Amino acid sequence: MATLIPPAPPKAYDVIVVGCGPGGSTAAYHLAERGFRVLALERHRFPRYHIGESLTGVAASLLSEMGLVDEMAKRAFPEKTGVKVVGRDAKSEFFVPSLVPTWQVRRDEFDTMLLERAVAAGVDHVHGSVKRILRDGERVVGVAYRASDRPDDLLQEARARMVIDATGHSALMSRHQVAGVRQIDAFGHQIAVFTQFENVLRDEGPMGNNTVIFYAKKHHWAWFIPLSDDVVSVGAVVPTQTYKQIADSPDALMLWATENINPELTRRLTEACAVEPVRTVRNYSYRIEPYAGPGWLCVGDAHRFADPIFSFGVAFAMCEAVAAVKATEQALREHRERQALDAYVAYCDRGHEAAYDLIRYFWRFPAFFPFQVQGEFRHDMMRLFSGDFFRDEEIPALDAMRTSLETFDAADLDDGLARSI
């Protein structure tokens, strides 16, 4: 059994951020910029592989606020100007431009860049794995962690006035029974398989850097995300039941997907060669409630993750990180913790519910979705695809989609109403 020892030398922090992905590093950076003493704990040594390579326009704006536009250009991340959706059997397609030009990213480089930015701002960064949440009654007051560079099993203790869980799917606070239990959400019971390919066919010119989504049928789709001049990330998502019926391994499912999801995807991969092993994520759609309380809060995937079809994950993590910084500042400097955390939860819920309804509308009414993109709601749809869900104001396109969903649900209509794009 691990033994707890005090930190040597002891150091008090205002905030501990656990997890140094985009959400954690963004929060740590902004907190340090505001003069808080911040400890950032990360169990993995960067650079490390991670999925989620396509950024929305909102993410690009947040990177600009962090002064990272020149660094993004220096690293030659492909510039993304929008998303193309290819319909069933490649018989139709539509394109949604991004309101703000953004990038596709190699997450090993991108996450390292964000962490380095946080450290340069004054954040203390430690490689270590949290083993225990320290509490004083109902209040979280710190963590006990095992530093990666220790040759023994001794735990070190770090205390702070606020602990931010940015551990993504690991959901630290939920696992330690501080936050609520993970609940499988509406888009759960699915499996994603993904890898990277060379020698693929891409669209010509600047359009060749854009995300392509390949639709097959409800909850069956694939992504195509250029990562460099010669490497593309390709993944497929299907219901778990489909996986059990058609494949006996993730590799077999990946092969099936490249041959059966969409003929346009098959064409693009005719001469392709995989350069990474096939990886998988199962039952990835979930929510955790509550996700904030005395002395703690969760950011991004640490409390909720939905269908990743439109690549909102990084933008959501970074938006919530900025909101978490605001809540932390109000809690620690203005002594309004309860109001700050309530406002933070309302902010996050507003954004997630809006994205959830957009995705639900896509799967319920795929044949009608292109008309929303190309018609009177075109600007609204561009705004939503850019990840702009969190502002407390009406979005006419979203209101119209919600009305259709409510009518559909009330009438208990069959999904065959709108079969495909």
In the chain, DSSP finds a helix count (H) and a strand count (E) of 13, 19
C-alpha span between 123 and 160 (Å, rounded): 14
Domain residue spans in the chain? 1-79+102-187+284-421, 80-101+188-282
Residue 417: per-residue pLDDT: 52
**Tokens 């609940």, located at residue:** 183
Residues β-bridged to residue 17: 40, 164
- Amino acid code (one letter) for 351: G
Handedness of CA 148, 150, 156, 161 (dihedral sign): negative
Nearest alpha carbon to residue 85 among 369, 354, 324, 294? 369
pLDDT above 90 (res 2): no
State the fold for domain 1-79+102-187+284-421: FAD/NAD(P)-binding domain (3.50.50)
Q: State the Cα–Cα distance between residues 122 and 107, nearest whole angstrom.
A: 23
Q: What is the pLDDT of residues 351-410, one digit of tens each?
A: 999 999 999 999 999 988 999 998 899 999 999 999 999 999 999 999 999 999 999 887
User: Above 90 in pLDDT, residue 195?
Assistant: yes
Alpha-carbon distance values, 319 to 229, 237, 323 (Å)? 29, 26, 6
DSSP state at residue 2:
P
Amino acid at 327: A
Instruction: Give the side-chain half-sphere CA count within 13 A for 119.
Output: 12
What tens digit of pLDDT does each residue of 410-420 get?
776 555 555 56
What is the distance between the alpha carbons of residues 201 and 265, in angstroms, rounded to a whole number? 9
- More confident site: 214 or 4: 214
Q: Which residues of 334-355 are buried (b: 16+ CB within 10 A; e: fewer)?
A: eeebeebbeebbebbeebbebb
Residue 7 clears pLDDT 60, i.e. is over it: no
Task: Give dist(CA 331, CA 232) in Å, integer.
Answer: 43
CATH topology of domain 80-101+188-282: D-Amino Acid Oxidase; Chain A, domain 2 (3.30.9)
Q: What does the alpha-carbon distance between residue 159 and residue 10 come to, in Å, rounded to a whole number? A: 10
For helices 57-65 and 313-333, what crossing angle results, to 10°? 40
pLDDT exceeds 80 at position 5 = no
Q: Which stretch of 3-17, 27-41, 49-63, 154-168 has the lowest confidence by average pLDDT?
A: 3-17
Least confident residue range of 107-121, 139-153, 321-335: 139-153
- CA-to-CA distance for 54 and 104, rounded, in angstroms? 5
Over range 326-344, report the average pLDDT.
99
Tokens of 329: 């500042």
Residues with Cβ within 8 Å of 307's Cβ and at least 6 positions away in sequence, in order, are 187, 190, 237, 285, 359, 363
Asked if omega into 294 is within 30° of 0 (cis), the reply is no
CA separation for the pair 301, 299 (Å, rounded): 7
Mean pLDDT (whole number) for 150-170: 94
Q: Which residue has the higher pLDDT, 176 or 393?
A: 176
The Cα 10–Cα 124 span in angstroms is: 13
Decide: 172 and 165 in contact? Cβ < 8 Å.
yes
Residue 323 has pLDDT above 60, yes or no: yes
Report yes or no: 195 and 255 within 8 Å, Cβ to Cβ. no
pLDDT reading at 282 higher than 90: no
Which regions of 90-246 does DSSP assign to beta strands (E)? 93-103, 124-136, 139-147, 155-165, 182-184, 190-198, 211-217, 220-226, 231-239
Question: Sign of dihedral through CA atoms 244, 248, 251, 253?
Answer: negative
Whether residue 61 has pLDDT greater than 70: yes
